[in-house]
């Protein structure tokens, strides 16, 4: 039997097994309408699957790949070129398309991408010239419909709200390692949902790659390490949202701060995985007060020059003393990702907050005015992102 027949056979068996375990999941029509938005049936996945949410996820992907400088943390080795790549919980497939462009730009050929997700929302990447295959599958059900050691590279991004903590997430990781080829690379990308404030003038992490530090400087972000000083978010609306997100996700056994646990999870797999590396970055949600104060504290001549520069930037809609247009755009994008996540989580946040619709709309209006008009996230509030990669033994 050839490989494609084997895969189809495994896929069919897995789908049948899934139906026996949970017949409430109808893969042929998994969507329902609730709260005026489209969701995944009775699954615990709390985010909608409509256009605004898909755009938010794509925006988050664009942001993370921009602040890290590329769509992959690992660097492929010419001696072991990646040919078969799998993206788990692929969504629209946007990340796969970025990785394809990156790998092709490095000269790698014969690339084959597969995306797996319960929601059939991925576009046909074949139209972009990508060798692309989509597999519909409930990721809570293992084994995944693939052969042992089938993939050279496996990408996992933003699975925080897809698979609950504990044994479900461990089973998925174990099976992901099973289908990864020995010597193959596993990459995990995550974003925290709780917003913290970075303290003024954080020291650069010791021993970090100079290129990574240069990338952080150029993008106006901060490389993170265990010694990076943080405190609770200062903005009262983000503190409100933090508390509600924490409670709502805890009830569903999802992690609101996945970036704090990925290293620990991967390092426990020392018999299966090796060569662990990671990179974490904090993206401020706007120009920070202490950045501006540092500029205004200069001598009068330099202060006047900075003010002239600010006025020039304002003509390009960048009202900043310290940021380039690109840096300001990245920070504004991070703010949009945060605001839109709160919007997407509205039903469960409204539930734990105890607010009725009128009270929620009033709070929402105040939050939008504070964050978007009054630039309320200027006291160090950051969106934290991370990428981890390792190889299978």
Q: Structure pTM? A: 0.87
pLDDT number for residue 319: 60
Instruction: Provide the total of helices (H) and of strands (E) in the chain, helices listed first.
Output: 12, 12
Nearest to 152 by CA among 66, 78, 263, 92: 78
pLDDT number for residue 14: 37
For residue 143, is the peptide bond before it cis, meaning its omega torsion is within 30 degrees of 0? Answer: yes
Q: Which CATH architecture has domain 3-192+255-282+386-392?
A: 3-Layer(aba) Sandwich (3.40)
In 3-state terms, what secondary structure has residue 83? coil
Distance CA 97, CA 231 (A): 37
Phi-psi sector, 69: left (phi>0), alpha (psi -120 to 50), beta: left
Q: Which residue has the tokens 């020059």?
A: 305
In 3-state terms, what secondary structure has residue 78? coil
> Which string of DSSP letters, residue by residue, matches 199-265?
PSSPPPPTT--HHHHHHHHHHT-EE--TT--EEE--SHHHHHHHHHHHHHHHHTT--S-GGGTHHHH
Whether the Cβ atoms of residue 59 and residue 337 lie closer than 8 Å to each other = yes
pLDDT number for residue 204: 84
Instruction: Give the distance, in angstroms, between the CA of residue 25 and the centroid of all CA atoms in the same chain.
Output: 25
In 3-state terms, what secondary structure has residue 382? strand
pLDDT number for residue 88: 98
Domain residue limits, the chain = 3-192+255-282+386-392, 196-237+283-385
Q: Which residue has the tokens 């999870």?
A: 265
Distance CA 88, CA 176 (A): 9
pLDDT number for residue 306: 52
Structure tokens at 391: 């190889």
pLDDT digit string (tens) for the chain, length 393 residues: 443 443 343 333 333 333 333 445 567 668 899 888 999 987 889 999 999 999 999 999 999 999 999 999 999 988 899 999 999 999 999 999 999 999 999 999 999 999 999 999 998 999 999 999 999 999 999 999 999 999 999 999 999 999 999 999 999 999 999 999 999 999 999 999 999 999 999 988 887 788 999 999 999 999 999 999 999 999 999 999 999 999 999 999 999 999 999 999 999 999 999 999 999 999 999 999 999 887 666 555 554 455 445 545 444 444 667 899 999 999 999 999 999 999 999 999 999 999 999 999 999 999 999 999 999 999 999 999 999 999 999
Q: Are strands 180-191 and 381-392 parallel, antiparallel or unpaired?
A: antiparallel
């Amino acid at each position: 039997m050839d490989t494609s027949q084997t895969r189809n056979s495994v896929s069919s068996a897995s789908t049948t097994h899934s139906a026996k375990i949970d017949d409430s999941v109808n893969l042929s029509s998994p969507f329902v309408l609730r709260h005026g938005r489209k969701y995944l049936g009775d699954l615990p996945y709390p985010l909608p699957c409509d256009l605004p949410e898909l755009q938010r996820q794509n925006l988050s992907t664009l942001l993370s790949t921009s602040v890290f400088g590329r769509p992959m943390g690992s660097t492929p080795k010419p001696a072991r070129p990646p040919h078969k790549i799998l993206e788990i919980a692929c969504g629209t497939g946007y990340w796969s398309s970025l990785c394809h462009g990156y790998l092709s730009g490095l000269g790698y050929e014969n690339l084959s991408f597969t995306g797996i997700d319960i929601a059939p929302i991925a576009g046909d990447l074949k139209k972009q010239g990508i060798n692309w295959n989509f597999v519909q599958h409930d990721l809570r059900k293992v084994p995944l419909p693939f052969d042992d050691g089938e993939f050279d590279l496996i990408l996992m991004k933003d699975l925080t709200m897809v698979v609950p903590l504990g044994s479900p997430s461990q089973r998925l990781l174990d099976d992901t390692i099973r289908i990864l080829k020995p010597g193959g690379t596993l990459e995990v990308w995550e974003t925290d949902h709780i917003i913290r404030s970075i303290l003024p003038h954080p020291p650069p992490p010791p021993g970090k790659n100079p290129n990574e530090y240069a990338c952080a400087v150029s993008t106006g972000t901060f490389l993170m390490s265990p010694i990076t000083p943080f405190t609770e978010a200062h903005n009262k609306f983000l503190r409100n949202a933090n508390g509600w997100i924490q409670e709502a996700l805890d009830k569903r056994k999802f992690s609101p701060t996945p970036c704090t646990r990925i290293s620990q999870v991967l390092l426990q797999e020392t018999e299966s995985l090796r060569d662990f590396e990671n990179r974490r970055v904090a993206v401020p949600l706007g120009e920070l007060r202490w950045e501006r104060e540092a500029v205004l504290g200069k001598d009068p001549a330099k202060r006047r020059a900075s003010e002239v520069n600010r006025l020039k930037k304002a003509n390009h809609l960048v009202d900043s003393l310290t940021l380039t247009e690109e840096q300001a755009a990245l920070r504004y994008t991070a703010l949009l990702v945060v605001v839109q996540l709160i919007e997407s989580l509205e039903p469960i946040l409204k539930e734990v907050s105890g607010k009725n619709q009128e009270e929620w709309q009033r709070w929402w209006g105040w939050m939008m005015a504070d964050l978007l008009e009054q630039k309320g996230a200027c006291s160090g509030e950051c969106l934290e992102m991370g990428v981890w990669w390792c190889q299978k033994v």
